[in-house]
Amino acid sequence: MGGCDGGRDSANGAPIEVFSWGGLQQNLIVEHERRHPQDRIIHANAQLSATARKTLSERMLAGDPPDSFQVNAGQDLLQWVVFNKLDARDSRLQALDALPGMQDLKDAWPPPLRDALSHGGHVYAVPANVHRINEMFFNSEVLRDVQAEPPRRLEDLLVIGEALQRKGIPLLAIGAKDPWALSVLVIESLLISQHGPDFYESYFTGKLSADDPRISQTLTMALRLLEYANPDRASMHWEQAAEMVLDGRAAMTVMGDWARTLFDTPGVNVAQRYREMTFPGTESVFVFACNVFPLPVGAKNEAGARRLLGTIASLEGQASVGQSRTSIPARLDVEADAPDPLQAHKRTLWRTGRLVMAQSGLVPPQFANDLNDAVVALDEEHRQSPVVHMLRARYVLLGH
């Protein structure tokens, strides 16, 4: 592995290539250019995460990595560290222990995030921003049309769904063409609502039985809720599902808070017509996905990449993240700059609430992909067996 001076240095005009699907915010790029005006950042920003991950994997395996790239904290990151499935001897990422101020950085991250960035006592990435997964966006006018209040319990969803069904309007807009989007509803929202974060975390770290009856209970409720979803969901991406809510063609969609970019646009009165809220029954839980950036072995511009990672992790860089309305800073010591009430609540939960990682952090990537596909099959076949059989076959992979 190279040291701080390895690779081509962008101070001499070489670019810093960053590969992501939206995790490196423009505010961070602006802050880095202010700190290091000599650097040139090439931001290869792919539109679809699945396509981006495939391209990234091909480049990493071919020994042609970008200088840094977006990945989720947890197993999504650590797959490149424990590359040989045993230890970090064949890691495709460099440890960042020598990054300036690393000990202060560790102290500024919540313990669950710090653990998700580390292996064997070494840190392998810096976090850019944090998203809350267990969120829901709804159209107030659609709910008022059936004299319904925003749902506070799972039972409320069923009652509202029945009322809307009589009018031919879906309760839920889902973009199941992105398999993970359906899992956001079933696994990271509904399961936690019914059985709590402790069960979710224990189950997906391999501490329980694959056939735990609580999984079947969640799948039963999922099938009931899907009766009130848009029938064309298999052909839609999650953004198209969100547009159904925007247009009043559906009441709500369950999606991470990045969806706020669609609802928070000029001419859209978010406060009056559209609202973001926590999925019913998960108000005290912060299911998080954290976009993080590592330093690959063989980065062509290692020195430039280290400067960029320093900016991303810095107080100033994280303060620039805090200006966004779609995510929050990872650092706990970033002062809030008059955020809106919803963002303020998320920051409070990030400091004091129950934090659990999204699937991408808890389970190996292939397990997550298989589970996402099984949830889609559950929806298409309207029976539990695809998920049940997948969990029985693959559960042994968890916790290892």
Q: Do the domain assignments include residue 50? A: yes
- DSSP class of residue 242 equals H
302 and 210 inside one domain: no
As a whole number of angstroms, the distance between CA 119 and CA 132 comes to 24
3-state secondary structure 367-390: HHHHHHHHHHHHHHHCCCHHHHHH
pLDDT tens, position by position, 8-50: 454 456 899 999 887 678 889 999 999 999 999 998 766 566 7
pLDDT of the residue at 310:
96
Task: Quote the longest CA-to-CA distance of the chain.
Answer: 66
Q: Token pair of 86, please?
A: 């045993």
- Residue 4: closest CA among 95, 66, 70: 95
Write out pLDDT tens, residues 328-365. Answer: 999 999 987 656 788 889 999 999 999 999 998 999 99
The answer to whether residue 4 scores a pLDDT higher than 70 is no
Pairing of strands 135-139, 122-123: unpaired
What pairs with residue 126 in β-bridges? 293
Percentage of residues in the chain having pLDDT higher than 70:
92
Range(s) of the domain holding residue 387: 135-281+363-397
Half-sphere exposure of residue 214, counting CA atoms within 13 Å on the CB side? 17
Inside any domain, residue 4: no
- Is residue 5 assigned to a domain? no
**Selected residue with higher pLDDT from 162 and 43:** 162
Which run of H or of E encompasses 127? Answer: strand 126-132
Same domain for 257 and 180: yes
One domain, residues 207 and 243: yes
Q: Is residue 19 situated within a structural domain?
A: yes
- Given a contact cutoff of 8 angstroms between Cβ atoms, the answer to whether 66 and 93 are in contact is no
CA 279 to chain centroid = 15
Whether 1 is covered by a domain: the verdict is no
Both 268 and 298 in one domain: the answer is no
What CA–CA distance (Å, rounded) separates 340 from 256?
17
Question: pTM for this one?
Answer: 0.91
Residues 66 and 167 in one domain: no
Instruction: Provide mean pLDDT across the span 256-276.
Output: 75
Residue 303 domain flag = yes
Whether residue 172 is predicted with pLDDT greater than 80 in this model: the reply is yes
Q: Are residues 301 and 269 in the same domain?
A: no
The number of C-alpha atoms within 13 Å of 28 and in the hemisphere containing its C-beta is 31
**In sequence order, what are the beta bridge partners of 135?**
278
Q: For the residues 45-64, what does the mean pLDDT come to?
A: 82
Over residues 147-169, mean pLDDT = 97
Burial (0-12, 13-18, 19+ Cβ within 10 Å), 325: middle
Six-digit token string for 220: 């039963």
Is residue 190 domain-shared with residue 335, that is, in the same domain? no
Question: Using an 8 Å Cβ cutoff, are 260 and 346 in contact?
Answer: no
Residue in the structure block whose two tokens are 């063409």: 177
What integer pLDDT is reported at residue 62 of this predicted model? Answer: 94
Strands 68-69 and 16-20: parallel
Q: Is 188 in the same domain as 273?
A: yes
Q: What is the CATH classification number for the domain harbouring 317? A: 3.40.190.10
Q: Compute how many other C-beta atoms are within 10 angstroms of the C-beta atom of residue 265.
A: 10
Residue 181 lies in a domain: yes
- State the Cα–Cα distance between residues 319 and 103, nearest whole angstrom: 19
**Domain co-membership, 51 together with 194:** no
Q: What are phi and psi of 231, to 5 degrees?
A: -65, -20
Q: Are residues 101 and 195 in the same domain?
A: no
Please, which residues bridge with residue 183 across strands?
A: none
Per-residue pLDDT of 67-95, as tens digits, reads 999 999 999 999 999 999 999 999 999 99
- Give the residue from 143, 128, 176, 98 showing the smallest Cα distance to 272: 143
C-alpha pair distances (Å), 314 with each of 108, 114, 159, 309:
10, 15, 47, 8
Cα 54 from Cα 32, distance rounded (Å):
28
Q: Does 316 share its domain with 252?
A: no
Total domains in the chain come to 2
Neighbours of 197 (CB within 10 A): 19
125 and 203 assigned to the same domain? no
Distance of CA 213 to the CA centre of its chain: 27
Alpha-helical runs (H) found in 66-148: 75-78, 102-108, 111-116, 140-145
Q: Contact 274/246 with Cβ under 8 angstroms?
A: yes
